[in-house]
Amino acid sequence: MSDKDSFLIFSGTKSRYLAEKICASLNCPLGKLVMTKFSDGEFAVSYEQSIRGQNVFLVQSTFPNSDNLMELLLMIDAAKRASARHIIAVIPYFGWARQDRKDKPRVSIGAKLVADLLSCAGIDRLITMDLHADQIQGFFNVPVDHLYASGVMLPYLQSLKLDQLVIASPDVGGSKRANTYAKYLGCPLVLCNKTRARANEVESMQIIGDVKGKNVVLIDDMIDTAGTITVAADVMKNAGAISVRALASHAVMSGPATERVQASSIEEIVFTDSIPYTQRCSKIKQLSVADMFAETIRRVINNESISSQYLI
C-alpha cells in the first residue's frame, strides 16, 4: 500500500468478523466506531477517531434483519458529516436484490429503493459480490465494483478432482451463471425447470439434461430456505447422479434451511463468508472472500484495474 494513512476501514456490528479478516489481509487496523443502542431499539453511530479527508470503507452486508441496512445508512451519514473524502460501501451481500423488477402489479422494487437510500445517504462507490441480478448495478449513479465468488469457488471445485463432472442450475434464472462455470471447466450443463406453489415453496421440478453416472455441482447465488436446492439434489440422485454438491455465494439459510440440507441427499454445500453462518451442519463449508475484498480495496485506493481478479 502506497499510503497507509489515506484510507480507513470500519465495520457494522454483524460484519465485523469479515472486516477484521480484510484488515488482517491489508495489514491495517480496523477503525474505531461505536454503535450505541437505546432501550426502544433505536441506535446511533459515532466514529471515535478523525476521518476528515480520508477514504472511508464501510464493511456491512445488508442481510436480514433490516437493522444491518440501517446501521450502514447511519455509518454513511456520520462519515459524510465528519468530512470523509470518499465513502465506499463494501457490501459483500446486497439484500433486497431479489426485488429487482415488478413481477406482478402493485409491488415494490426493493433493490432500487435500497440503491436510492445508499446514494442519498452519500456513498461515492459500491463494492459488492454476486448480485442476484446484474442489472442492479444500473440502479446506482456511482461506480459499482461487482466481484464474483467464482474467484474462490473455482479453485476449490478444481481441487476436488471430480470425474464425470456436470454443472447444473437449480432454476432457469441461474442458467447464465452456471453456463459460465461449465464453459470455464469444459463440462456439460444441466438445467432444472421448477414451478412454485408460492414463495419459498417448490411444487414440481424437471431436469433438462443427463445426470446419470455424473458428479453434479449445482451453482447458485444464494440459498434461502434451501427448498429448491434440496429438491434439485433429490431429483438428480433419483435420476442416477453419483453425487450432488452445491456452490452458492451467500448463506442466507433462513427458517428450516439447515434441517433440510442435513436431511437431503446433497453431499456438500459450499458458501462464502459474505453472511455469517452460525448454525451447525456437517454438510456446509464456508470459504473466505476477505482476501478478494482486501485486494479490491487496495486497487481502488491505488487507482488500479480490478478486472484481473476475475477468473470468469
Q: Are residues 216 and 268 in the same domain?
A: yes
What's the pLDDT band for 44 if we cut at 50, 70, 90?
very high
Is the pTM higher than 0.95?
no
Residue 298 lies in a domain: no
Is 309 within the bounds of a domain? Answer: no
**DSSP codes of every residue in 115-134:** HHHHHHHT-SEEEEE--SSG
**pLDDT band at 3; cut points 50, 70, 90:** very low
- How far is Cα 78 from Cα 211, in angstroms, rounded to an integer? 53
Q: What is the dihedral of CA 158, 271, 236, 204, to 10 degrees?
A: -150
One domain, residues 155 and 93 = no
Please provide residue 39's backbone torsions phi and psi, each rounded to the nearest 5 degrees.
Answer: -65, -25
Domain shared by 210 and 280, yes or no: yes
CATH at 207: 3.40.50.2020
- Going edge to edge, which strands form the sheet with 55-59? 7-11, 55-59, 86-91, 125-129, 144-147
In terms of domains, do 247 and 191 share one? Answer: yes
> Residues 140, 171: one domain?
no
Indicate if 127 and 195 belong to the same structural domain.
no
Task: List the domain range (segments joined by +) for residue 28.
Answer: 5-146
Same domain, 180 and 100: no
Q: Respond yes or no: is residue 194 known to be catalytic.
A: yes
How many domains, the chain?
2
Q: 146, 165, 182: which is the final residue of a domain? A: 146
Least confident window among 133-142, 180-189, 198-207, 214-223: 198-207
For range 81-92, the mean pLDDT: 98
The verdict on residue 103 lying in a domain is yes
Decide if 117 is inside a domain: yes
Task: Say if residue 118 is in the same domain as residue 232.
Answer: no
Q: 21, 183, 194, 283: which is the annotated catalytic residue?
A: 194
**Do both 153 and 283 map to the same domain?**
yes
The rounded distance, in Å, linking the Cα atoms of 98 and 131 is 9
> Using one digit for the tens of pLDDT, what is the confidence trace for 222-280?
999 999 899 999 999 999 999 999 999 999 999 999 999 999 999 999 999 999 999 98
167 vs 189: CA distance, rounded Å = 5
What is the distance between the alpha carbons of residues 174 and 149, in angstroms, rounded to a whole number? 14
